[in-house]
Structure 1
Amino acid sequence: MTDYARRALVASPTAPAREAAAKLADAWDWVQPDEADVVIALGGDGFMLQTLHAMLHRRQLAVPVFGMNLGTVGFLMNEWRPHGLDDRLARARPFRVAPLQMTATGVDGRVHTLPAINEVSLLRETRQTAKLEVTINDRIVMAELACDGILVATPAGSTAYNLSAQGPILPLGSALVALTPISPFRPRRWRGAILPDRTRVSLKVLEPAKRPVSAVADQREVRDVARVDVALDRARELTLLFDPEHALDDRITMEQFAA
């Protein structure tokens, strides 16, 4: 059991999250996120990703986040309940997630380095099919993939965009990442790969002038890329807290049986 004495409260700008924050406002003497032992996040999955990215930016890697769902899906969140927070925090199970690091080189030669907690995705910018060269650990494994795009997903993100693209659900603690094509045209039957999370993935854009491609790290986009390198960033591990009966690994397991 852990006593989180200094608590920060952050909320999505939506009306339900703001109303929930108002209910909690007088319950504790809240501190700023950069002074906290734990952050309470109110909102949906998108707001949770926003909160985690802010913590990466502030280098608050050791501060756990306990989210409560005031959004739509809330896969990364616990159930919203305004009472019993002391007990819930004391009993919460930690889950550690290491983000991907995307290094995107533009056709102009500029290099952009961004973290991604869910996935890194490459997407065609026009009606022209994207053509990509796929390299794994410095070995070209596919000389030309014609597709709408491709993504690299973590276990935490495997039930998001990756699942919508028919990618596999990855159990937490599996030390795996998913490499999933988006509407592959050639080779038509290739459905992706499951790779050890120590794998380095490099994606080269073929014919970038004719077939421009953008790269997206979670919600941040870099347009007109020539090459994208993706690897797990173990030095920037984050911690999520979950109620024992609502743990993320259990949810990922049950998602595989959803209709």
Structure 2
Amino acid sequence: MNEKITTFLNSDLLDKYLMGTTTVAETEHVETYISKYTEVQNAYNTLQNNLEIVAKSNAIEAPKHILNNVLNEFNDAPVIALSKRARYKKWYKLSVAASVAAITFAASTYLFYNQNQKLSQENQVVVDEIFDLRSDIEMNNKKLDAVMEQFKRLNDPETYKYIMKGNERARNLKTVAYINPKEKTSMIDVVSLPQLPEEKCYQIWADLQGRMVSLGILSETDRQLKRIPFTENARGLNITIEPKGGNTIASLENTVAEISLQ
């Protein structure tokens, strides 16, 4: 079905034509389309049949005594009997009007239904966006709580700050360790780490009475406060260069930074 036919069928010209309210030009236009396009002719026939069905279903037979009462009122005045054709035309127009009203109601109902469906979908999108927003707010609140907790720990009078600077092996290395013996917490802030070959990494150790205990691997991506295991009674901290992935035994000959905690 081409666009021209679709536009015509979506207009109200067929309805107006059936009701006899079209202008001369509109009547000619409609009849041309009915005779020229099968789709229009089928739509016209369907609409006409539907209108007749509606008219018949809504038809009410007038009581027989009505005519006698009317005749008595006119004192036997001449009455012009309506021809069968005239009566049919009158009822046909009424049936057309009733059918058009029914079709208009159905079209309006369908339109409202579609609008309601669209509104429901839009409401669901808004609900989903609100849910995502609440999730983002909750996540941001958790991050804020974590930052506040870190800030609280850093400003605790029992928290000690230790600055670790690199030796000649890594002159630009700088990290800051925060240790709170009372709360038994340890954090480290990686300020800068010189770049290493891909097969090497930096590893931090705690000196526990001569035994080196690994506290994890340091990376340039850790440029923020990072928790490290708290080691009670540790005498110092060491940073060494180890094979990629870390080592189980500290290579003290490759030490690049160290501090005493006592």
Instruction: State if a TM-score over 0.5 links the two structures.
Output: no
Structure with the bigger percentage of helix: 2
Structure with the bigger percentage of strand: 1
Q: TM-score, with normalisation over the residues of structure 1?
A: 0.19
**Structure label with greater radius of gyration:** 2
